[in-house]
Amino acid sequence: MKAGSHVLLCVTGGIAAYKAASLASALVQGGAVVDVMMTAEAERFVGPLTFSALTARPVYSSLWDAPERIPHVRLVREAQAAVVAPATANVIAKLAHGIADDLVTTALLAARIPVVLAPAMNDAMYRSEATQANLRALRERGYDVVEPGVGFLAERESGIGRLAEESALLGAIEVALARTRALEGLRVAITAGPTREAFDPVRFVSNPSTGATGIALAREAHLRGADVTLILGPTQLEAPAQVRVERVTTAREMYDAAIERAVGADVIVAAAAVADWRPADASERKVKKTEADLNVRMVRNPDVLAELGRRKGETFLLGFAAETEDHEANARAKLARKNLDAIAVNDVSGARGFGAQENALVVLWGGGGRRELGTARKEVLAARLLDCVQERMQARHARSGVEDDECC
């Protein structure tokens, strides 16, 4: 977190309110300026004095008792990001429906900054259709929801509803703080997910990619102001509502969609796990198991990214390298071979990579440039990766003949 970052912490009335004190302290220790707003219900669980002592700033809880007339607008204007922790079912419902009947909900209705929501409540309340629909609506409007954890709840029962771990909250706040409108006016195209290569109507060759990284990148790029096109292979995950999505199944469909929709974009990210081969002959009828063994001849699929590299022009082209060995050497070879501006190295040898919640990435670029993005949730890595792309684009812009590989 950048020192001097300004965070608005909204504490609402659940038992997890006591954990918000520790979050406030961690933010302050990370160098942030923290303003705290509390609902009247939150004050029943923790006193405002706790927060004012931790943040060395006044704590706000009423629309009426502040020295100035409209603190709700000032506080959301000054902050760079807001976090609601814990967010009760009641406050989530009010935010989803635009109800503004206290300082916190009024301020958040006026907010034009990124808002992180950390729900914490009873398991049944969290799972209820009403809460889930409200959270879906807020996600679609760009709120970041940090899912609660599973474990012991205040009702002396186990379930989902515990406030997310502090490290997850800090990660989400870091992402929110990084979210400026830095990609305003730029076209970003992203390939994501696996492809499927059928050899009869009921069988295909594919891989375990879920598209989570590409989807997180699309959402993050949209929130930074970009005009985003997501070319997405078959996945169970939902695509962000606000981005243009082109659904494809096979590598050849992905190739065609990318050539049509991605060429000429300002930034292209190739996060898809494209199948390198497809069965030479796809049977129109289901292949019967009349023989003990089945030999399927596979032929090469087009390399989408290599073709985009050939047609690159001024586009900033970021590829991925899924590797199980000699990761960085293999990735550097791909960087050069496919004419890329940068490549993100993905270790797919263990539990990480495909299908995992967390990942670890290293970014490489020409002239020996290298940056570790660390291990984090895919949403956090997506934000760090876009920071890196923005910095590399700026460096390229500023370069004018001088090699600049100092930072990413």
Stretch that binds ligand CTP, among 91-99, 162-170, 266-274, 277-285 (CB under 6 A): 266-274
Angle of the 378-399 helix axis to the 212-223 helix axis, nearest 10? 60
Residue 40 token pair: 């009247």
Give the nearer residue to ligand CTP in terms of CB position, either 305 or 385: 305
Pairing of strands 342-347, 358-365: antiparallel
Stretch that binds ligand CTP, among 99-107, 121-129, 163-171, 317-325 (CB under 6 A): 317-325
> Active-site residue among 90, 122, 134, 207?
207
Give the nearer residue to ligand CTP in terms of CB position, either 188 or 305: 305
Give the nearer residue to ligand CTP in terms of CB position, either 153 or 216: 216
CB–CB of 317/304 below 8 Å? Answer: no
User: Least distance to ligand CTP from the beta carbon of 94, Å?
Assistant: 42
Stretch that binds ligand CTP, among 13-21, 42-50, 271-279, 288-296 (CB under 6 A): 271-279
Select the residue interacting with ligand CTP from 91, 145, 168, 251 (CB under 6 A): 251
Q: Is 278 in the site for ligand CTP (CB under 6 A)?
A: no
**Rounded to an integer, what distance in angstroms lies between the CA atom of residue 59 and that of residue 308?**
53
Helices and strands per DSSP (H, E), number in the chain: 14, 20
- 359 has catalytic annotation: no
**Rounded to an integer, what distance in angstroms lies between the CA atom of residue 235 and that of residue 249?**
10
Select the residue interacting with ligand CTP from 272, 361, 383, 389 (CB under 6 A): 272
Residue 13 token pair: 């009335």
Q: Is 301 in the site for ligand CTP (CB under 6 A)?
A: yes
Pairing of strands 277-279, 227-232: unpaired
Task: Fill in the per-residue mask, 191 to 220: x = in contact with ligand CTP (CB under 6 A), - = not in contact.
Answer: x-----------------------------
Stretch that binds ligand CTP, among 14-22, 39-47, 313-321, 391-399 (CB under 6 A): 313-321
User: Least distance to ligand CTP from the beta carbon of 269, Å?
Assistant: 8
Q: Is 253 in the site for ligand CTP (CB under 6 A)?
A: no
Among 324, 399, 334, smallest CA distance to 363 is for 334
Q: Is 327 in the site for ligand CTP (CB under 6 A)?
A: no
393 Cα distance to chain centroid: 20
Total of residues contacting ligand CTP (CB under 6 A):
15
Among 67, 77, 9, 82, smallest CA distance to 42 is for 9
CB–CB of 224/230 below 8 Å? Answer: no
286 residue type, one letter: K
Binding site for ligand CTP (CB under 6 A): 191, 251, 270, 272, 274, 276, 301, 303-305, 319-322, 334
Active site residues: 207
